[in-house]
Amino acid sequence: MSHPHRLRGHILTYSGNPFTEGWQNTVKVVENSALLMQAGTITAIGAEAEAAEVPETSYPGHLICPGFVDAHVHYPQTAIIASWGKRLIDWLNTYTFPEEMRFGDPDYAAQIAHRYLDLALAHGTTSLASYCTIHPASVDALFEAAAARNMAVVAGKTCMDRNAPDGLRDTAQSAYDDSKAALTRWHGTGRARYAITPRFSPTSTPAQLHALGALWGEHPDVLMQTHLSEQVDEIEWVRGLYPDARDYLDTYEAHGLLGARGIYGHAIHLTDRERDRLSEIGAGLAHCPTSNTFIGSGLFDLAGLAGAGQAVGLATDTGGGSNFSMLRTMAAAYEVAQLRGVSVHAANLLWLATAGAAQVLHRGDEIGTLAPGHAADITVLDLASTPAISQRTLRADDIWDAIFPTIMMGDDRAIADVWVAGRRVA
Ligand code: GUN
Ligand code: ZN
């Protein structure tokens, strides 16, 4: 809405990166405070938001958060989420590729794009970076569905020219041409941003990676998203396919696909050289903990990487991930870190699912943080959404102790309201 509107409740704010500067110094919950928005943008928080006589929505006892940002999803996998019994390569061949084949039908692509975005919003996710399929119409379908909801979405045509079934392969040239046409049409159109999207090294020839690296060089303002070092078998396969590469990351680096605006999904089994290189470049990593446990991939080194200043965002990896909810994903990130001997604070988990992911999408000035000048993309959490959570929250010693049960036990029932660009949508 273009008229000013005030929200009232506990407000989550950030002044820095909790992994490198400490959560106590960077993350605050201002209790019983106010947030003012106008024309889709946050205009004031706290005392300044009190001044005007404007309509107000009050959320007593609720947490007003930045809308969740999901740094890595596959919207075409919406209908095959929670498919049983396979690890990565078999899972792709058995469930994913047959489903992605269906996106040759633009009507089906549109149907799933709308379904996926409705599910994302119902779970409090207002922005995301999605893979599409090899079909250009699958890109239009997602961006059109996002535009209808005024959502800030990053997406790109998935490129594969080998090791994928008939009907699900493009070529080096058509991947270049179709990606270029899609980025020309969509990048910067409203809230849409484009990501050049080679699926991963096993499904691209060196010629295709090279063509997409050249395209990125010609359009350095777009993003690039791909997968990196998710499973041990996959890494072995990459070694065989790229005998001259120093490691998995080098298959991208050698073809112009390593950059600060790159989003590398998973990044679990990294060599020292890969870690150093990702750090030097300032590349973004998408941590997908529900996927990593569901597909059996491994335990991401969140504390080591994010603690060293690597840009990390949280992601569901729908439908390799087992849930659409960033709350469930925060819980999985907590559990995976516990298995590595680190207890991640609730403040860090919320930051990863909002500002951290926004930073990886290079949209940190627009989304992921509640601050004047940022988009009014807002998710309101009910901290007592079920009897089980409510009885635990009643025992809470402080606000963080009241928030943590919702992170560990919450789901879409905890999403009290969602605002996108200042409009209530849920
Ligand atoms: N690696 C290549 N493609 C995929 C995918 O669709 N999902 C996951 N989890 N890993 C991948
Ligand atoms: Zn993925």
* Pairing mode, strands 262-266 and 223-228: parallel
Residues of the chain where predicted confidence (pLDDT) is lower than 70: 1, 426
Q: Which domains does the chain have, with CATH numbers?
A: 5-66+368-424 (2.30.40.10), 68-360 (3.20.20.140)
Q: Please work out, in degrees rounded to the nearest 5, the angle formed at the alpha carbon of residue 261 by the alpha carbons of 259 and 262.
A: 65
* pLDDT value of residue 52: 79
Residue 100 near ligand 1, beta carbon < 6 Å: no
Cα 69 from Cα 321, distance rounded (Å): 15
Q: Does 76 contact ligand 1 (Cβ within 6 A)?
A: no
Burial class of residue 45 (count of CB atoms within 10 Å of its CB; 0-12, 13-18, 19+): buried
Ligand 1: residue of 88, 133, 266 to mutate (most ligand atoms within 8 A of CB) is 88
Ligand 1, atom nearest to 291 Cα: 9
The pLDDT of residue 275: 98
Q: Tens digit of pLDDT for each residue in 181-198? A: 999 999 999 999 999 999
CB distance 330 to 296 below 8 Å = no
Of all helices (H) and strands (E), which one includes residue 363? none
Specify the residue with its C-alpha closest to ligand 1, atom 11: 227
25-60 pLDDT, tens digit each: 999 999 999 999 999 999 999 999 998 799 999 999
The per-residue DSSP string of 82-124 comes to S--S--HHHHIIIIIHHHHHGGGSHHHHHHHHHHHHHHHHHTT
317 lines ligand 1 (CB under 6 A): yes
CB of residue 404 inside a 6 A radius of ligand 1:
no
The residues facing 415 across adjacent strands are: 381
DSSP 318: B
Q: Which of 204, 202, 210 is nearest to 231 (CA)?
A: 202
The distance in angstroms from the start CA to the end CA of the chain is 15
- Cβ(266)–Cβ(234) below 8 Å: no
Closest residue by Cα to atom 7, ligand 1, is: 320
Distance 387 CA to ligand 1 centre (A): 36
Helices (H), 15-105: 18-21, 23-26, 47-50, 88-91, 97-101
Ligand 1 mean position to 318 CA, how many Å?
10
Among the atoms of ligand 1, which is closest to the Cα of residue 319? 7
Distance 58 CA to ligand 2 centre (A): 38
Ligand 1 centre distance from Cα of residue 63 (Å)? 33
Whole-structure pTM over 0.85, yes or no?
A: yes
